[in-house]
């Protein structure tokens, strides 16, 4: 049975907002040309939004997993979406003349840009997962628990 559909609204709204800013407003106001790395900020926020959507979609299942496995699953889902996005950007070159408007708004950069985009997606998804998965401990938490056991 499906969960409450309202649980998915905010991550979808954030994702659509990132897409709208990233595709249309960035081009209209030339934000990517004015601000170096602006697209990386959008990829970080996009990775955050995808992570949010994934955790809201599979919240019950993530509750059954060990925290590090849940983080790994969220990051893997974010990276998968990022890779599919980059494949779509890459494939836009083949429709440059048949669909010039799509190409104009969707073509990607070179290898360095693609790898930077994927790293930014990963950073956004990992930061969301590390913030939102309960039960994660830091190294200092582990060390302090060992000190108390002595």
Q: Is residue 142 part of a domain?
A: no
Q: What is the pLDDT of residue 116?
A: 96
Q: What is the pLDDT of residue 45?
A: 95
Residue pair 45/124 in contact by the 8 Å Cβ criterion:
yes
Q: What is the pLDDT of residue 6?
A: 73
Q: Is residue 26 part of a domain?
A: yes
Q: What is the pLDDT of residue 135?
A: 67
Taking the C-alpha atoms of residue 78 and residue 96, their distance in angstroms, rounded to an integer, is 28
Q: Which of 74, 45, 79 is nearest to 59 (CA)?
A: 74
105: left (phi over 0), alpha (psi -120 to 50) or beta: alpha
* Domain span at 54: 5-134
Q: Is residue 148 part of a domain?
A: no
Q: Is residue 49 part of a domain?
A: yes
Q: Is residue 42 part of a domain?
A: yes
Taking the C-alpha atoms of residue 12 and residue 49, their distance in angstroms, rounded to an integer, is 7
Residue pair 12/46 in contact by the 8 Å Cβ criterion:
no
Q: Is residue 144 part of a domain?
A: no
Q: Which of 90, 106, 94, 100 is nearest to 23 (CA)?
A: 106
Q: Is residue 84 part of a domain?
A: yes
Q: Is residue 145 part of a domain?
A: no
Q: What is the pLDDT of residue 136?
A: 60
Give, for all 150 residues of the chain, the pLDDT tens digit: 456 777 788 899 998 998 888 888 888 898 888 999 999 999 999 999 999 999 988 888 888 889 999 999 999 999 999 999 999 888 888 888 888 887 877 788 889 999 999 999 999 999 999 998 876 644 443 333 444 444
How many structural domains are present in the chain?
Answer: 1
């Amino acid at each position: 049975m499906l969960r409450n559909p309202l649980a998915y609204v905010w991550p979808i709204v954030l994702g659509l907002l990132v897409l709208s800013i990233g595709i249309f407003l960035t081009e209209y106001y030339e934000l990517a040309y004015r601000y170096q790395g602006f697209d990386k900020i959008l990829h970080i926020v996009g990775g955050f939004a995808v992570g949010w959507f994934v955790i809201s979609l599979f919240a019950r299942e993530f509750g059954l997993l060990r925290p590090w496995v849940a983080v790994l699953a969220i990051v893997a889902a974010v990276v998968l979406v990022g890779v599919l996005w980059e494949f779509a950007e890459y494939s836009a070159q083949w429709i440059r003349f048949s669909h010039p408007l799509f190409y104009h708004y969707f073509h990607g950069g070179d290898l360095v840009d693609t790898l930077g985009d994927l790293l930014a997606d990963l950073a956004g998804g990992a930061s969301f997962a590390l913030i939102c998965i309960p039960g994660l401990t830091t190294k200092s938490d582990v060390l302090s628990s060992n000190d108390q056991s002595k």
